[in-house]
Amino acid sequence: MSLDVAVVGATGYAGGEILRLLLGHPAYLSGELSIGALMGASSAGQRLGALMSHLPQLADCVIEETDISRLGNFDVVFLALPHGHSARVAEQVGDDTVVLDCAADFRLRDAHTWTKFYGAEHAGSWPYGIPEMPGHREDIRQARRVAVPGCFPTGATLALLPAVQSGLIYPDVVITSITGVSGAGKKAAVAFLGSETMGSLKAYNVAGQHRHTPEIAQNLNEFSQEPVTVSFTPVLAPLVRGILTTATAPIREGISDAQIRESYEKFCAKEPFLHLLDPGQQPQTQDVVGSNMCQLQVQLDEYSRRLVVTSAIDNLTKGTAGAAIQCMNLICGFPETAGLAQAGIAP
């Protein structure tokens, strides 16, 4: 098997992370996978080495103007574009090409919700790229198109899914996620200047306004017997990478801390990228930097009778590019873990 891969939007944070992971993939190192084209818009014509010196293997590659007509020549295309741009590209790529979209264009199934949160016409939905969601791994394996999940929904879904699926909680969840600035992308904006973010925390898009709120709700509702209500608050922190999520929900009568623990242990035991920490430990973003892991901790707050779950992911790896590579592996027949670190960088 020989795969030729293209990355569109190659010089953004997501595109750069996809390239970093591909360069360490066993198929790339063996010659089974080649990176055939790096495409972009504002960076077209420039050497990648001048823009991303942390990828020396590709330093002499020149960023090409995005040419949709050429994408059908590749076996796998990664779209690392802003929301609203992928649909136009994907519709012109033949079904023989695997397309992995890191934007939100095909994540939501409800057209009205998409239009409300993204302000554009709904392009449809694709198989959703969290393999850890029951049934999704099988769907991804058979797919030629995959909607890579959002970073916040990844951390929140993996935190709450075992409890929702097992019926441990009433479906009224409150989620707070603290994120690093790379989640906003590689665009110039005053709000993300160092002088604006260092030494400060700020909530934003609160009270149901964040675009990832309906995505989280969609994921949890898939496994709930009752409609799930999601209250989601994102918080910007002076970090480069990482999302720490705290999720709470009321526990049903008669559910014990031991039952909760057992449910999460059972769910995580078969998943290579989920790690339930020992009791007393808490997830930390610094422990998952550069890895495709999601660290979890779960407890019952006896006083309030609420479940408390915390998760930590690297928003650029498990939250975006790592998920895309994980899906590529499933579709192309590679081991699911190929090219994806389970160990973080510490200290």
Q: How many CA atoms lie within 13 A of 153 on its CB side?
A: 28
Provide the terminal-to-terminal Cα distance of the chain, rounded to the nearest Å. Answer: 38
Q: How many CA atoms lie within 13 A of 175 on its CB side?
A: 33
Which positions ≥6 away from 227 have C-beta within 8 Å?
171, 221
Distance (Å) of CA 135 to CA 15, 27, 149, 172: 28, 26, 15, 24
Give dist(CA 259, CA 265) in Å, integer.
Answer: 10
Both tokens of residue 215? 């995505």
In one-letter notation, the amino acid at residue 211 is R
Q: What SS3 class is residue 105?
A: coil
Candidates 323, 339, 328, 331; CA nearest to 103 is: 323
Candidates 342, 312, 347; CA nearest to 24 is: 342
Give dist(CA 102, CA 64) in Å, integer.
Answer: 19
Both tokens of residue 194? 């160092």
Distance (Å) of CA 102 to CA 128, 145, 320, 321: 11, 11, 7, 8
Task: Count each helix (H run) and each strand (E run) in the chain, helices first.
Answer: 12, 13
Q: At CA 81, angle to CA 75 and CA 86, rounded to 5? A: 65
185 CB neighbour count, 10 Å cutoff: 14
Q: What SS3 class is residue 46?
A: coil
Write phi, then psi, for 298 (nearest 5 degrees): -140, 140
Is residue 294 among the annotated active site residues? no
Write phi, then psi, for 102 (nearest 5 degrees): -90, -5
Catalytic residue among 61, 102, 151, 332: 151
Residues marked active site are found at 151
